[in-house]
Chains A and B, each alone.
Chain A
Amino acid sequence: MFSVLSYGRLVARAVLGGLSQTDPRAGGGGGGDYLLVTAGCGFGKDFRKGLLKKGACYGDDACFVARHRSADVLGVADGVGGWRDYGVDPSQFSGTLMRTCERLVKEGRFVPSNPIGILITSYCELLQNKVPLLGSSTACIVVLDRTSHRLHTANLGDSGFVVVRGGEVVHRSDEQQHYFNTPFQLSVAPPEAEGVVLSDSPDAADSTSFDVQLGDIILTELKKLKNSNYESIQQTARSIAEQAHELAYDPNYMSPFWQSGMNQRGAEPELQGAQSGERRQGCHSNCKRKQRFRRCRVTSLYLYF
């Protein structure tokens, strides 16, 4: 297995960067809307490091994060690799599914309390593409309703999510499998293989809803690693959470994102004079922003293996 600690550090950075970057708008109005702060990291099967990118594909798997007025949504899809044997690129289906979900959310064509609806609509939209798509994937959608502070989830297949609160797992999704190593999956099959290729309806997804609290960490993952070191992963999650909490409350912490911002400003010599005042202000306002966050932050990370 790869070094969990170095990996953890990488993720920790990304998480903290996310915290200072996020829009403080939602922070006002004490105890109001919740906010999802996200970070993602993935490794394709060839173990190349992947950094956080929205709607990114890691190997055959894909993810997305999208924000709307009423909710934050994230999703993962595990492309079924077996299609490669038939000359079909497995990442095309999962990638298109996730991009379509992202577009749906951004345009507001969803109901926060109905994440299965997002899957259904997205699957139908996939079929509206002129390009003949082929492939299959699992899917997991997590919707944070900002105002009601509830998390709505839909899970089809063996990907899923875990909610960690105070170092303890409080929620975990159930796996959906037909038989060993054959999870529930959305698919589009070639016409000659209809009926032979497993194709589950998006309605078959499991759906749950529960309240979340500030500081909860949501991990969406692509395969349950029962036999592998799940314990060590849980430990990593715990240590990341602790580190994240600590550094977020530290007003003097200079996150890597804020640092790079400073360097950019420093590069314009003619504005230097005006900048120093701003810089100090910038530092101050960043801290203020972080403090405001304290009241309304739910952290999520997603790890891929």
Chain B
Amino acid sequence: MSPVFPMLTVLTMFYYICLRRRARTATRGEMMNSHRTIESNSRTSPLNAEVVQYAKEVVDFSSHYGNENSMSYTMWNLAGVPNVFPSSGDFTQTAVFRTYGTWWDQCPSASLPFRRTPPNFQSQDYVELTFEQQVYPTAVHVLETYHPGAVIRILACSANPYSPNPPAEVRWEILWSERPTKVNASQARQFKPCIKQINFPTNLIRLEVNSSLLDYYTELDAVVLHGVKDKPVLSHKTSLIDMNDIEDDAYEEKDGCRMDSLNKKFSSAVLGEGPNNGYFDKLPYELIQLILNHLTLPDLCRLAQTCKLLSQHCCDPLQYIHLNLQPYWAKLDDTSLEFLQSRCTLVQWLNLSWTGNRGFISVAGFSRFLKVCGSELVRLELSCSHFLNETCLEVISEMCPNLQALNLSSCDKLPPQAFNHIAKLCSLKRLVLYRTKVEQTALLSILNFCSELQHLSLGSCVMIEDYDVIASMIGAKCKKLRTLDLWRCKNITENGIAELASGCPLLEELDLGWCPTLQSSTGCFTRLARQLPNLQKLFLTANRSVCDTDIDELACNCTRLQQLDILGTRMVSPASLRKLLESCKDLSLLDVSFCSQIDNRAVLELNASFPKVFIKKSFTQ
């Protein structure tokens, strides 16, 4: 035997072992790195150069602080190059959402959360941006200039909003998602989360935010999308092994539908009245129902496929009294609604906010669903549901006679005539029309017929011509009103306030932020204070005429006050604020930003004496 043979064997074995080890590490490495972009992909070939883009346009969003058609504190500032970054501070040229913290969950107009909301869905607001070119994203950077840390989810869409042909299939993929975490510094930062790789090019990015841990409004300046034109080489491998998919609750209802019909065929053919269900079926029916109450909707649908008994339980309409479909907005379509229809005959609370856009839900599909499910409906959330049109509102008014709460927040594409149908819902207690195009006649009609109204939001309703007339109608007809949102109601005067104050003595919450036509010298704020002793929340944001007299009147008369915003007035002194804080023991939020007499030292002194109060003082650097 020549000495070559053993050497060859050894070499082959050595080579084989090395290959195996490399293969093993590669697989393990990829499993570990599923949450991170693969390093090797960044070594793109020269032909596949990275494209860096700022947002071209903001196409949709759920709320913002600024006025419609303005460029101050509005979402449109998120497009284009940054205006302010890296400066920190409260600047007009940034994008700001309407709310922050938990203040809006603690005021009288807060609505109860839906049961069965999955714990990993915490998004409160969103904004959708388009970019010029479609790329395979490698990074998404968010330039935050004030109180960062609100972004909790980034998604990419496969549809190109600029292509003339409607897309065959629209898919949303989560690039990054995390629970809300507290960011300690309030300075500007460039937020660079590690995003997942996807296998389609995109130029439509969606950011979802949760501001509940923030001390003040977050402000965003720009969004940068890094990507490559051609599909990166290793992308197909990473998309196979992805930890996100396993834990993801963005469930595919379509699968459930097909599985269910298959299951039905099986159960009738194979599963008879088997003796071996264990002791489980000895439990009372109601107890099993109670156990199933704790499952999220996708789990409930999956459980229905396991056996006949559980299928019976899971399809019981009693499980669907509260139906929250907002967490599943990315996948919910007509087929899903049809699938759920048979189980939803007793539904009382239905949340379809954010759903149905880009052709996912049709008017016909929605109407069909409501015809089956509308009779017991008491609460209907349709915030940012842009598929709605006049027919849908007509269907709602016909099919939901018991409706008490209707939320059409930010449905800015609804034509004005659609709102006429709301007047038919005479049991309405809560109506949210924030940022809609409702017109004066329709609103007057609603106020005339819906005398049970307790909560009304008319924030940023720009098509109303004369708010004094509206206020006078409210004062005359809505005697049970408890909360009223007139944020940015441009022309309400002391006459309207007088009618409100005398007509609605039960008012606990009044938002008059950015109403420039109210002048303290007319005595309107004094009147408010004297005639509304139950006030818990009063926003007089950016009313430059609020003065010490008004604060004194509030201190004397509105001792239940919890939240007060007097941003931007020059005429309130620290002394009157001290009186207010002494008198209103429940006061927890006091916003004195840009009040020239209240400097940082005064805030510190007040805080020292009243440590439970959150005194907010924003600044522009």
List chain A positions with a Cβ less than 8 A from chain B. 103-104, 107, 109, 124-125, 127-132, 190-192, 194
Contact = CB atoms under 8 A, between A and B. Distances in A.
B231 interface: no
Contacts of A132: 544, 568-570, 594, 596
B92 interface: yes
Contact of B544 (A104, A107, A128, A190): A190
Given A191-B544, A192-B521, A129 B72 contact: yes
A130 B542 contact: yes
Nearest to B488: A128
A191 B521 contact: yes
B71 A130 contact: no
18 contacts: A107-B71, A107-B80, A125-B70, A125-B71, A125-B72, A128-B66, A128-B67, A128-B72, A128-B92, A130-B90, A130-B92, A130-B594, A130-B618, A131-B594, A131-B620, A191-B544, A192-B571, A194-B519
A157 to B, nearest CB: 24
A104 B596 CA distance: 28
Contacts of B571: 191-192
A127 B488 CA distance: 12
B71 A104 contact: yes
Contacts of B520: 191
B93 A130 contact: no
A125 B93 CA distance: 11
Interface residues of B, number: 28
Contacts of A104: 71
A194 B92 CA distance: 25
A128 B70 contact: yes
Given A107-B71, A109-B71, A130 B568 contact: yes
Interface in B528-555: 542, 544-545
Interface string B39-77: 000000000000000000000000000110011110000
B596 A128 contact: no
Given A125-B71, A191-B521, A130 B567 contact: yes
Given A190-B544, A190-B570, A191-B544, A128 B594 contact: no
B516 interface: yes
Given A103-B71, A130-B618, A132-B596, 14 more contacts: A103-B83, A104-B71, A107-B71, A128-B72, A130-B90, A130-B567, A130-B568, A130-B594, A131-B568, A132-B544, A132-B570, A190-B544, A190-B570, A191-B571
A202 B321 CA distance: 56
Contacts of B73: 128, 130
Interface string B597-621: 0000000000000000000001010
Nearest to B93: A103
Contacts of A129: 72, 92
Contacts of B521: 191-192
Contacts, number: 51
Nearest to A134: B570
A114 to B, nearest CB: 16
A interface secondary structure, majority: loop
Contacts of B67: 128
A102 to B, nearest CB: 12
A103 B66 CA distance: 16
Nearest to A189: B544
A103 B593 CA distance: 25
Nearest to A129: B92
Interface in B548-588: 567-571
Contacts of A103: 71, 83, 93
A279 B545 CA distance: 63
Contacts of B83: 103
A124 B67 CA distance: 11
A254 B238 CA distance: 59
Q: Which 5 A-B pairs have the closest CB atoms?
A: A191-B545, A128-B72, A132-B568, A130-B594, A128-B70
Contacts of A124: 70
Contacts of B92: 125, 128-130
A194 to B, nearest CB: 7
Contacts of A130: 73, 90, 92, 542, 567-568, 593-594, 618, 620
A127 B594 CA distance: 14
A172 to B, nearest CB: 33
A55 to B, nearest CB: 13
Contacts of A192: 521, 571
Interface in B372-417: none
Nearest to B520: A191
A240 to B, nearest CB: 35
A123 to B, nearest CB: 12
Contacts of A107: 71, 80
A127 B66 CA distance: 12
Nearest to A191: B545
A127 B517 CA distance: 12
A127 B516 contact: yes
Contacts of B618: 130
A174 to B, nearest CB: 31
A196 to B, nearest CB: 12
Nearest to A188: B544
Contacts of A125: 70-72, 92
B595 to A, nearest CB: 9
A192 B73 CA distance: 28
Contacts of B544: 132, 190-191
A129 B544 CA distance: 12
Contacts of B71: 103-104, 107, 109, 125
A129 B67 CA distance: 11
Contacts of A191: 519-521, 544-545, 571
A35 to B, nearest CB: 23
A124 B72 CA distance: 10
Nearest to B92: A129
Nearest to B79: A107
Specify which of B66, B67, B92, B620 lies most central, judged by the most chain A CB atoms within 10 Å of its CB.
Answer: B92
Specify which of B80, B521, B542 lies most central, judged by the most chain A CB atoms within 10 Å of its CB.
Answer: B542
A197 to B, nearest CB: 13
A103 B70 CA distance: 12
